Amino acid sequence: MRWSERQVAMLQEMGIRVWNTPSQGDAVALAEAQPEVETGTSRPASAPAAPSPASVAEPAGVAVRGPRATGVDAMDWPALRDAVAGCTACKLCSGRTQTVFGVGNPQAHWMVVGEAPGEQEDRQGEPFVGKSGQLLDSMLRALGLTRGEAEPARQVFIANTLKCRPPGNRNPEPDELAQCEPFLIRQIELVKPRMILAMGRFAVQSLLRSNEPVGRLRGRVHQYQGVPLVVTYHPAYLLRNPEDKARAWDDLCLAVEQLERTTTAAA
């Protein structure tokens, strides 16, 4: 795949070094991620490496939906937003500043699903802000995508599995995920995306009903209710483990290739 100068600049912003590979003509090859100021723990040696996007596996992992909250499955966007804002179904409602509904084009071709709001998200009411949001925006720009105003093919829709921040940014609990799940399901139904990016362990658990680690599920195309789904690392994880940024880029390339293949087949 050949990248423009702008895309190369975005890859470098993600911390991925690129160079021209003589054996592949003008193709740009990915190298290891550059170290950042904010480094974290290394990826465990037991975490398996996934195949490159060139070796795409057949779609696997078809998810089955769980129980619905009453009435959510018939809500339009305004009703759904009001239901999320007024939700008191679990204990997280007592500690939130505001709910984090989601942002983006309601007819987006791409949907990004994250985990739970953090402190900055709770304050601003928008998913993926702060340093993790900056990294996500860089990743999207490298693909020609944005969370800003644009047509459905370019503006993504971003949502989290939880709409309220867990105290102290702790991991979501099973009952919290279960209570919030109908909201996410309905968002996906309303958007009708052509590609879903599941970022992080809890997004994967919610959408694929799998407890497998992200490292074992990435590198192949899954299905969620007939929609292609690609698993990748959460940007917050990548900030702590910059050596996995190149793998995350492989996942984005896999999603692009799958979407192109699906669009061509439908034409």
DSSP 27-59: -EEEEEEPP-SS--PPPPTTSPPPPPTTSPPPP
Higher pLDDT, 104 or 5: 104
Whole-number Å distance between alpha carbons of 245 and 231: 14
Buried b (16+ CB within 10 A) or exposed e, 79-117: ebbebbeebebbebeeebebbbbbbbbeebbbbbbbbbb
236 alpha carbon, distance to own chain's centre: 11
What's 110's DSSP letter?
Answer: E
Contacts of 23 (CB under 8 A, 6+ apart): none
Whole-number Å distance between alpha carbons of 136 and 13: 11
> What's the pLDDT band for 131 if we cut at 50, 70, 90?
very high
Contact, 235 vs 200, CB < 8 A?
A: no
Per-residue pLDDT at 124 = 96
Per-residue pLDDT at 14 = 60
Per-residue pLDDT at 88 = 94
Q: What is the pTM of this model?
A: 0.78
Q: How do 221-224 and 60-63 pair as beta strands?
A: parallel
Q: Delineate the domains of the chain, giving CATH numbers in brackets.
A: 1-31 (no CATH), 73-266 (3.40.470.10)
pLDDT digits (tens, 9 = 90+) for 41-54: 333 333 444 433 33
For tokens 């099973």, the residue is 174
Segment among 41-45, 82-86, 184-188, 251-255 with least mean pLDDT: 41-45
Buried b (16+ CB within 10 A) or exposed e, 42-69: ebeeeeeebeebeebeeeebebeeeeeb
3-state secondary structure of 201: helix
Ordered strands of the 221-224 beta sheet: 60-63, 221-224, 227-232, 195-199, 110-114, 157-160, 103-104
pLDDT digits (tens, 9 = 90+) for 229-251: 999 999 999 999 999 999 999 99
Whole-number Å distance between alpha carbons of 183 and 163: 9
Whole-number Å distance between alpha carbons of 264 and 267: 5
pLDDT above 90 for 23: no
83 alpha carbon, distance to own chain's centre: 23
